[in-house]
Amino acid sequence: MTGHEKEKKVESFFNPYIKRINVKLAKPSLEDQKDDLSRLIEDLDLDKDTKIPAGLLRTLPDFLERFDYGISCTLRKNEIIDFHEHNAKSRLYGMAVDIGTTTIAAYLFDLQSGKNLDVYSSLNPQRAFGSDVISRINHTITQKDGLTELQGLLVKELNHIIEIFCKKNSINSSDLYEIVVVGNPVIMHLLLGIPCKNIANAPYIPSFTSKMEIKAAELGLNINPEAYLVTLPLISGYIGADTVAAVLACGMAEDDEISLLLDIGTNGEIVLGNREELLSCSTAAGPAFEGVGISFGIGGVDGAIDHVDLKKTPIYTTIGGTAPKGICGSGIVDTVAELLKYKIIDNTGMFSEEYGKKHFILDKKSNIYVTQQDIRQIQLAKAAISAGIKVLVKHMQISLDKIKNVYLAGGFGNYINIESAAIIGLIPPELKKRVKLIGNGAGTGAIMCLLSEDMMKKACLIKDSIRYLELSNLAAFSKKFINGMYF
Amino acid sequence: MTGHEKEKKVESFFNPYIKRINVKLAKPSLEDQKDDLSRLIEDLDLDKDTKIPAGLLRTLPDFLERFDYGISCTLRKNEIIDFHEHNAKSRLYGMAVDIGTTTIAAYLFDLQSGKNLDVYSSLNPQRAFGSDVISRINHTITQKDGLTELQGLLVKELNHIIEIFCKKNSINSSDLYEIVVVGNPVIMHLLLGIPCKNIANAPYIPSFTSKMEIKAAELGLNINPEAYLVTLPLISGYIGADTVAAVLACGMAEDDEISLLLDIGTNGEIVLGNREELLSCSTAAGPAFEGVGISFGIGGVDGAIDHVDLKKTPIYTTIGGTAPKGICGSGIVDTVAELLKYKIIDNTGMFSEEYGKKHFILDKKSNIYVTQQDIRQIQLAKAAISAGIKVLVKHMQISLDKIKNVYLAGGFGNYINIESAAIIGLIPPELKKRVKLIGNGAGTGAIMCLLSEDMMKKACLIKDSIRYLELSNLAAFSKKFINGMYF
C-alpha cells in the first residue's frame, strides 16, 4: 500500500474508543442543583452508568471551579479517565505493540487524527533467558521469582520505548492513554505476570485466553495513571493474540471466500477458513526459516544472503547489497529450491550422487555454504507447515483450489520468493499465484484495534469463531508430516 | 418486629450479589484444551464477560493444580473475587454501616445465611472537628490536608470495627467481602475523600450523588483485598444515602398509598409520596431534638429524662430508671407539650403571665429545668419540620388526609411520645394515629442492600425517582416557617 492508500484505509475504520470531548457546563444554581458528576454526564449525554475512578472524581470540583465550568473530558468507552481545561491543547496518544519472542515492534499513534507518528523496534530483553518460549517458561518454573523477573524485563522495555517516543515526539507521557499489545500466548502471560507453566507440557493449557484490560499503572507502565493496557485475545496455548490480530488484519474472517493465513516464525501458525468457519493449528516448525539452526544462518540484517539464483553471477544478493555475512530465511529457501531445480539434491533432500559433495558453497570468499544438516532443518520445518495445511484442509473437507487467498505474515513473509517456497513445498504449488504478503499482520491488527472500537470487537469475535486443532494427538498429522519431508 | 418476624422478612428478599460456588472442573486433556479461566467460567455457567482481577488470575493455575480442579469460587456480580479449595469451610461475611454525624452503627452479617451476627456502635471520630457537617466541611477548606485527615479518621474507625467484629466472632478479615455504607452527603464525600466544600454554600452542590463502588483496599480498609465498599446513592447536598436507605426500608416507594417519612436528626429530612412520585426536602431543624443547644440537653443515654407527665409523681421517667442527669429529645418534646397543655406557655411559646416564671423545673434535687430559650430552640426546630411537610404537601397538591403512613426514622423517633409531637406541631395532629416508628431506617436499608441485589437496584431506582425541593429559595417555605413558630 502507498502512504495515501494506508491513510484512506485507516479513515474507513477510524473510530477509537478513547475520545476527548470539550464541554461548557451550565453553572449550578438553586434552580439547578445537579451534582458535579451528573452535570458532566448529562451534559455530555453519556451513559448513566459511566464510571469514574475515585482519584479522578476527587479533582473534578476544583477543575470546574478553576476553569469556570469549561472542561475537556477524556473518555474510554464508558469510563472517564482524565480532565483538562476546556480546549486543552494536549492531544491523545496511543501505542500498539507487537511483542515477538525475539523482536518488539511498537507504533505510536495520534488517537484524534489516526496518524502514525512513530515506529520503534527493539529486541525482546527476555532473549537472555532463551531464544524460544519453552526456555522462558522453564525459567518461570525453575526460578522462584522467574515470572516476575521476565515480566519486569518487558515492562522495563515498554517504559523504555515510551520514553523514546515521548522524547522524540515532544509529548507528555501522561497524554498516552492506551497500549494495545499482541504477541504469542506465552509472551502475553509473561507480560501480565500470569503463570504459563502448563503451556509447556501436554495438554498445553494457558491460564487465560480472553482479552485482558488492566490499568497500565498496575503493571508499572509510565503513562497516564488511568490508562489501560489491553492484550488481544488468544486462541490456545500456541495460537496467540498475534495470530488473532493477523486474521483481523487480512480480513479473512469477513470474507465469503476461503483464505489461508500462514504466520511463519519460530512456530508456524496456520489459519484456514472464511466468515463461516475458521480452523487453526500451530506447528512446531522450528526457527529454521528465521535462520536459526542453519550453519550460516542469520536474521534479516544487512549482509544477509536473501535471494539465490544459480543462473546469475554472483548467484546471490544480500540485504543492503553489502558483502555477505550469512544467510537468512528467504535465502535458505531460495537455495534449497535451486538445489532441487538443478537436481543437486534429490526429493529426499540428499545431495545427489552426481553432485558428489556434502555441502553447497554460496560464496567462496566468505566461505558461506549450506550443509546436508541445514537442508534437513528446512525439510523438518516445511514438512510441519505443509502437514498443518493439509490437516486443516482435510478437516474442512475442501479441496485446495477452494482456497482463494494465501496470506503470508511475519517478517519472513516479506522477503520470501514465493516461487521457491512453492518448489520446496512450503506453500502448496497450486496456490502460489494466490499469495499475498501482509507484512507484520500482528502489528497491523493491533493498530486497527487501537484505532477502532469496532475492530476491537471484531478481534474478540474472531477469537470466539476460530477453532483450534491440536496436532500433537492427530495420527493424520504425523503421517502427513513424515510424507511432507519429501520434496 | 420479633426476632422470628425479622428473620422471615430477611428470607423474603435474601439474594446477595456475593456468592460462593463450589465446582469440580473436568480436567483438561488434549481433547479439551480450554484455558483455566474459560474452564471455570463455562463450568460455572457465568457470563462470558465475567471479570477477574489480574492478581487473582495469577493464583488460579496453582489453585487448580493443588486442589485437583476442585475449587470454590467467590463471585460478586460478574466479577470473580476469590478462590478457595473445594468446599472450603470459611464463610462469606459482609458489613452494613450507617455513619451518622455523631454516631456510627455497624452490622455484621453472614452473607450465606443472611444471619445478623453482631452489632456495634461507636462515635464518629470526626466529632473532634465539630458537631455538625458544616464545621467539618470548613476543616477541609481551611486545612491543607483536612479532607484526607477526616477521611483517615473514618477509615481508621471502620478498621477498628472490623477488628472487633473479627475478633469477637472468630472470623478472618479476608472473609469479609463487602461493606455497604450509608450516611448524609457530607459524610459520604468525606469517607471517599471527595471534596464537599460546595455543599456548604449556595447552591449547595455535591461532587457526586450516584452509588459508588470502590475496592475497599484502595481506601485502606483491611478486609478481603478484592472486596468492595459501596456507598448508596445520594439525592442532593442535604439528602443523603441514609434517607435513600430509609425510604427503601419503609417501603413507601412501592406503595400505592402516600406516605410521609421524617428522619429527624441534626437536619430534618422529609420525603413524601408513593410509587408514582416522591418529593423530598431537607430542613435545617438544628440539633435541638437530639438535646443539643438545650440547657440540660443530653443524648439518649442512661439518666436522660425521656418522658414527662405533669400528672404523675415524679413527673418524669429516665432512661434506665437512674437518677436524672439531663433531658433528651423525647423528654423536651414531652415537656413542651405538657407546658402547652397546662397553659404554662402560650401559643407563641412564652411562659404565661399566670405562670409568672421564666423557667420550668423538672427535678429540684438535680436542678434540671427548661428555659424560655430552650422552648425557642424547640419552636425553631418544629417550625422547620412542619413547614417542610407543608411545602411538600402543597407541592404534591394533596390534602393531609391522603397521607396514610407517617414513618418516623432515627434514634429520636424510637423514644418520642407521638401525642406530644402532635401537640407541639412537629407532626400534623390529624396524622398522629398513622405514625409508625421504623428505628434506624438508614441502617435497615443498608442491610437490605447488603443482603439483596434486588434491594440494591431498588435503592438506585429510589435515587432516580426522588425529586428534591430546595427550600432556601422558596418564599412559601419562609412564610410557613414563621407561621409554624406558633404552637
Question: Are residues B218 and B99 both part of a single domain?
Answer: yes
How many whole angstroms separate alpha carbon B71 and alpha carbon B56? 13
CB contact under 8 A, A57 and B33: no
Residue A31: its chain B contacts at CB < 8 A?
473
Chain A positions touching B477 (Cβ under 8 A) are none
Range among A298-302, A471-475, B122-126 with highest mean pLDDT value: B122-126
B-interface mutation test, from A51, A62, A80, A194, most B Cβ less than 10 A away: A194
Distance from CA of B371 to the nearest CA of A (A): 37
Which residue of chain A has the CA closest to B238? A33
Looking at the fold, whether B47 and B185 belong to one and the same domain comes out as no
**B203/A32 CB distance under 8 A:** yes
On whether any CB of chain A is under 8 Å from the CB of B118, the answer is no
CB distance B33–A472 less than 8 Å? no
Confidence bin at A7 (pLDDT 50/70/90)? low
**A411 located within any domain:** yes
Domain range spanning residue B274?
A: 252-440+459-487
Please write the tens of the pLDDT for every residue from B320-331: 999 999 999 999
What's the grid cell of residue A160?
523504555
Query: Which residues of chain A have a CB within 8 Å of the CB of B195?
Result: 58, 61-62
* Last residue within a domain, chosen from B181, B197, B231: B231
Contact status of A145 with chain B (Cβ, < 8 Å): no
CB contact under 8 A, B209 and A37: yes
My answer on whether A386 and A475 are in the same domain is yes
Give ipTM to 2 decimals. 0.90
User: What percent of chain A has pLDDT above 90?
Assistant: 85
DSSP, collapsed to helix, strand or coil, labels residue B53 as coil
The answer to whether A203 faces chain B, any CB pair under 8 Å, is yes
Is the pLDDT reported for residue A10 higher than 90? no
Please check whether residue B231 touches A, CB under 8 A.
no
Same domain, B353 and B377: yes
**Residues A72 and A97 grouped into a single domain:** no
| pLDDT averaged over every residue in chain A | 94
Higher pLDDT, B373 or A290: B373
- Which residue, of A69, A85, A101, is where some domain finishes? A85
For residue A8, is pLDDT > 80?
Answer: no
> What three-state secondary structure class fits B1?
coil
Q: Is B237 on the interface with A (CB under 8 A)?
A: yes
What is the model's pLDDT at position A275?
A: 97
Render pLDDT for B21-44 as a digit per residue (tens, 0 to 9). 999 999 999 999 999 999 999 999
Mutation pick from B35, B39, B238, B477 vs chain A, by most beta carbons of A within 10 Å, is B35
Looking at the structure, do residues A357 and A387 belong to the same domain, yes or no? yes
Which residues of A fall within a CB distance of 8 Å from B218? 54
From chain A, the residues in CB contact with B234 under 8 A are 35
Band (pLDDT 50/70/90 cuts) for residue B8 is low
Output the pLDDT for position B475: 85
The verdict on B21 touching A (C-beta cutoff 8 Å) is: no
Distance between CA atoms of residues A305 and A330, nearest Å: 8
For residue B180, the number of C-alpha atoms closer than 13 Å in the C-beta half-sphere is: 32
CB < 8 Å to B60, chain A: 207
A6 in a structural domain: no
Determine which of B208, B218, B281 to mutate to test the interface with A (most A C-beta atoms within 10 Å): B208
Among A6-10, A29-33, A300-304, which stretch is predicted with the lowest mean pLDDT?
A6-10
List CB contacts (< 8 A) between B35 and chain A: 205-209, 234, 236-237
Is A32 near chain B, with CB under 8 Å? yes
CATH of the domain at B47: 3.10.20.880
Is B162 part of a structural domain of the chain? yes
Domain end marker among B28, B50, B85: B85
Task: Kindly list the residues from chain A whose CB atom is less than 8 angstroms away from the CB atom of residue B207.
Answer: 35-37, 57, 60-61
**CATH number of the domain where residue B171 is located:** 3.30.420.480
Say what the pLDDT of residue B474 is.
Answer: 85
pLDDT at B4: 57
> Do the Cβ atoms of A33 and B468 come within 8 Å?
yes
* CB proximity B475 to A under 8 Å: no
Mean pLDDT lowest among A188-192, A380-384, B20-24, B285-289: B285-289
Average pLDDT over residues B275-283: 96
**B351-380 residue pLDDT tens:** 998 998 999 999 999 999 999 999 999 999
**Minimal Cα–Cα distance from B384 to chain A, Å?**
19
pLDDT tens digits along A107-134: 999 999 999 999 999 999 999 998 889 9
- pLDDT per residue as tens digits for the range B192-217: 999 999 999 999 999 999 999 999 99
The pLDDT value recorded for residue B399 is 95
* Per-position DSSP letters for B259-271, written without gaps between them: EEEEEESSSEEEE
pLDDT tens for residues A311-367? Answer: 999 999 999 999 999 999 999 999 999 999 999 999 999 999 899 899 999 999 999
Assess if residue B481 is contained within a domain: yes
Tell me if chain B has a CB within 8 Å of the CB of A113. Answer: no
Q: Which residues pair with A304 in a beta bridge?
A: A326
Residue B88, C-alpha cell as written in the block: 472450603
| Pair B200, B280 in one domain | no
Within 8 A of A470 by CB-CB distance, chain B residues are: 30, 33
Return the pLDDT at B441: 94
How far apart (Å, rounded) are the C-alpha atoms in residues B18 and B27?
A: 27
pLDDT at B5: 58
- Tally of domains in chain B: 3
- Residues 56-75, chain B, touching A (beta carbon < 8 A): 57-58, 60-62
**Same domain flag for B327 and B469:** yes
| Segment A197-209 mean pLDDT | 96
Among A48, A140, A150, A210, the strongest candidate for a mutation testing the B interface, having the largest count of B CBs within 10 A, is: A210
Cβ contacts of B405 within 8 Å, gap of 6 or more: B250, B252, B255, B257, B259, B260, B434, B436
Q: Is B335 a domain residue? A: yes
d(CA B259, CA B435): 10
A61 contacts B35? CB cut-off 8 A: no
For residues A271 and A291, the answer to whether their CB atoms sit within 8 Å is no
pLDDT of B188: 98
Residue A272 counted as domain residue? yes
Strand bridging mode B326-327 / B304-308 = parallel
Chain A residue with the nearest C-alpha to that of B51: A212
**pLDDT at position A104, please?**
95
Between residues A9 and A481, the one the model is more confident about: A481
pLDDT tens-digit readout, A42-99: 999 999 889 999 999 999 999 999 999 999 999 999 999 999 999 888 899 999 999 9
Cα–Cα distance for residue pair B147/A109, rounded to 1 Å: 39
Decide if A42 touches B, using CB distance below 8 A: no
Provide the 8-state DSSP code for B101: S
Q: Is the pLDDT of residue B159 over 60?
A: yes
Cell numbers for B487: 404552637
Per the CB < 8 Å rule, is A206 touching B28? no
The per-residue DSSP string of A94-114 comes to: EEEEEE-SSEEEEEEEETTT-
Q: Mean pLDDT, chain B, as a whole number?
A: 94
Mean pLDDT, rounded, for B338-348: 95
| pLDDT value, residue B267 | 81
Q: Which chain B residues have a beta carbon less than 8 Å from that of A192?
A: 54, 57
- Per-residue pLDDT band for A461 (boundaries 50, 70, 90) equals very high
* Interface size, chain A vs chain B, as Cβ–Cβ contacts under 8 Å: 116
Check if A475 contacts B (Cβ < 8 Å). no
Q: What is the pLDDT of residues B418-469, one digit of tens each?
A: 999 999 999 999 999 999 999 899 999 999 999 999 999 999 999 999 999 9
Q: Which residues of A touch B28 (CB under 8 A)?
A: 203, 205
Q: Please report, to the nearest 10 degrees, the dihedral formed by the alpha carbons of residues B268, B269, B270, B273 taken in order.
A: -170
Kindly state whether B315 is in contact with chain A, defined as any CB-CB distance less than 8 angstroms. no
What are the pLDDT digits (tens) for B400-414? Answer: 999 999 999 977 767
Q: Which residues of A touch B210 (CB under 8 A)?
A: 37-38
Cis peptide before A314 (omega within 30 of 0): yes
| pLDDT for B238 beyond 90 | yes
Residue B396, pLDDT > 70, answer: yes
- Residues A24, A44, single domain; the answer is yes
Residue B3 has pLDDT above 60, yes or no: no
Cβ-Cβ contacts under 8 Å, B205 against chain A:
28, 33-36
| Contact criterion met (CB < 8 Å) for B32 and A203 | yes
Say yes or no: B346 and B483 in one domain.
yes
Regarding whether B102 and B79 lie in a shared domain, the answer is no
* Contact assignment for B212 to A28 by CB distance below 8 Å: no
CB A17 within 8 A of CB A46: no
Of A33, A203, A210, the CB nearest to B37: A210
Cβ of residue B37 closer than 8 Å to a chain A Cβ: yes
The answer to whether residue B482 sits within a structural domain is: yes
Model confidence over B94-116: pLDDT tens digits? 999 999 988 899 999 999 999 99
Query: B295 exposed, middle or buried (CB, 10 Å; 0-12, 13-18, 19+)?
Result: middle
One domain for residues B55 and B142: no
Is residue B326 in some structural domain? yes
